[in-house]
Amino acid sequence: MRRIAVLLALAALGGVVASLAWRWWTAPPRARAATLAAAAAAVPAQADGLVAIAEPDRALRWLVRRPQALGLLALAAPDAHAALPRMRAILAALARDARGPLTLWWRGPDVAVAASVDPAAGRSLAELAAIEGVPLRSTPDGGGVTIAAASAAALLDGGPGTGPEDGPRRELAALARHGTRWWQLEAGRDRLELVSGVPPELPRATGPSVLTTSDLAALAAMAGSGAGLPHAAARLAVAGHDWALGLPATVPSAQLQRILSLGGDTAADAGAHHWRGLLGDLWSAPPPGFAVASSPEMLAAVAGAPPAGEAGAVRGADLAAACERAADALERVPWLASRAAALRRAAPLAAGVRLARWRVTPAGGRIVLEW
């Protein structure tokens, strides 16, 4: 009995040790905000944007389990997406060997990355860059070397920029700049929060998922699909396979109304109309503005004055359903088949996020992703 008790105690101890080791291995990245600010300040001032990442090897492990967070980088630097495959090998090697923060910056279609490594790793990285055909510069930094590589050598030129003003948080997962706006990133096991300036209150996640924007075309362009959309304030709501779109400051043309109601135009409750047209059955709200929905109940979700700024409270399940529905519609147009396929690939990723909420104003911004 005594031997069994000892074995049970050892098994319990082993379980505790394994659990603690796993929690350490999967813990989110973190570094002093001042350290990240110094790394960000060393990036050439010509960069359109940058991100300084704490504990890059740990950050990669965190991102493997939460790949949706990379969507924020894609939105911030949509033109640089094509350069990332060329930089993938050098980026992974730098993340593995970095002795401190890793900085990533971009300008137009090009991207660059830098980190401090030990001299032996620096020599290996130089050989890798030569194989990959990636421009690289090595600078001694006191016991090690700072390796900077880019998809275009011009991105390594120019004097350093300036870091952000001191923020209230002592430790961060990353520090980013988009244009002239600085963002502080704090990561948890199932949460990522970005804060800029004076953080506004987030919209509540009640009822359908709702997204509001002051410029629909600009927002869609960030996702690579803004062609043909108006530069107008908009409100979009999604609940499962139901949806609604409101353009409160837009007057629809008579031609558009005819296209949407070719199969019939029937008066409904509260001044709404039931249209049958190229997009199937739609319900439209009475003026002012223009609002259509897949069901009459959804019209209320997009009612109201024109929104100012960008905000949203979107459930991943609703976004995934919207991707699938949009893909179904795009597949009817032969030359949009590739975009439909991209939406279908995005749907499972969207479903992996429990909730995304954000609000961005001229004074500040706040973005929260929850898994």
Q: What one-character-per-residue DSSP string does 166-231 give? A: P-S-SEESEEEEETTEEEEEEE-SSEEEEEEESPPPPPP--SSEEEEES-HHHHHHHTT--TT--S
Which tops the pLDDT comparison, 20 or 165? 165
Do residues 156 and 235 both lie within one domain?
no
In the chain, the number of structural domains is: 2
Q: Which residues neighbour 371 within 8 Å (Cβ) at sequence distance 6 or greater?
A: 66, 68, 190, 191, 352, 353, 354
| pLDDT for 120 | 95
Mean pLDDT of 313-333: 88
Residue 275: DSSP 8-state:
E
Do residues 51 and 114 both lie within one domain?
yes
Do residues 287 and 352 both lie within one domain?
yes
* CA atoms of 350 and 326, how far apart (whole Å): 14
Q: Structure tokens of 19?
A: 């659990």
Residue 64: DSSP 8-state:
H
- Per-residue CA distances from 59 to 66, 91, 312 (Å): 10, 13, 26
Do residues 228 and 259 both lie within one domain?
yes
| pLDDT for 167 | 64
Do residues 235 and 352 both lie within one domain?
yes
> Rg of the Cα trace of the chain?
25
| pLDDT for 319 | 93
- 20 inside domain: no
| pLDDT for 224 | 63
- 361 inside domain: yes
| Each residue's pLDDT tens digit, 248-302 | 988 888 887 787 887 788 888 777 888 887 777 888 998 889 999 999 999 999 9
Do residues 122 and 220 both lie within one domain?
no
- 239 inside domain: yes
- 52 inside domain: yes
| Each residue's pLDDT tens digit, 144-154 | 999 999 999 99
- 127 inside domain: yes
Q: Inform me whether the pLDDT recorded for 22 exceeds 50.
A: no
Q: Inform me whether the pLDDT recorded for 165 exceeds 80.
A: no
Q: Categorize the per-residue pLDDT at 20 as very low, low, confident or very high, splitting at 50, 70 and 90.
A: very low
Highest mean pLDDT among 74-83, 211-220, 345-354: 345-354
Do residues 127 and 164 both lie within one domain?
yes
Do residues 215 and 185 both lie within one domain?
no
Q: 17 phi and psi, to 5 degrees?
A: -60, -45
* CA atoms of 324 and 241, how far apart (whole Å): 9
Instruction: Please identify, among 196, 231, 257, the residue that sits at the C-terminal boundary of a domain.
Output: 196
| pLDDT for 13 | 52
Do residues 49 and 108 both lie within one domain?
yes
Its pTM stands at 0.86
* CA atoms of 50 and 103, how far apart (whole Å): 7
Q: Please state, as a whole number, how many other Cβ atoms lie within 10 Å of the Cβ of residue 257.
A: 17
Q: Sign (positive/negative) of CA torsion 165, 168, 173, 176? A: negative
| pLDDT for 185 | 97
Instruction: Please identify, among 196, 229, 248, the residue that sits at the C-terminal boundary of a domain.
Output: 196
| pLDDT for 288 | 86
Do residues 263 and 365 both lie within one domain?
yes
- 8 inside domain: no
Instruction: Please identify, among 196, 228, 258, the residue that sits at the C-terminal boundary of a domain.
Output: 196
DSSP per-residue codes, 106-124: EETTEEEEEEEE-HHHHHH
- Whose tokens are 């039931």? That residue is 274
| pLDDT for 281 | 86
Do residues 40 and 159 both lie within one domain?
yes
* CA atoms of 292 and 198, how far apart (whole Å): 35
| pLDDT for 220 | 80
Lowest mean pLDDT across 98-107, 110-119, 230-239, 331-340: 331-340
| Closest C-alpha among 20, 82, 27 to residue 59 | 27
CB 361 within 8 A of CB 200: yes
- 16 inside domain: no
Do residues 123 and 218 both lie within one domain?
no
Give, rounded to a whole angstrom, the gap between the first and last alpha carbons of the chain. Answer: 45
* CA atoms of 24 and 94, how far apart (whole Å): 22
| pLDDT for 261 | 80
| pLDDT for 266 | 85
- Structural domain containing residue 331: 209-370
Q: Categorize the per-residue pLDDT at 124 as very low, low, confident or very high, splitting at 50, 70 and 90.
A: very high
Which tops the pLDDT comparison, 345 or 221? 345
- 18 inside domain: no
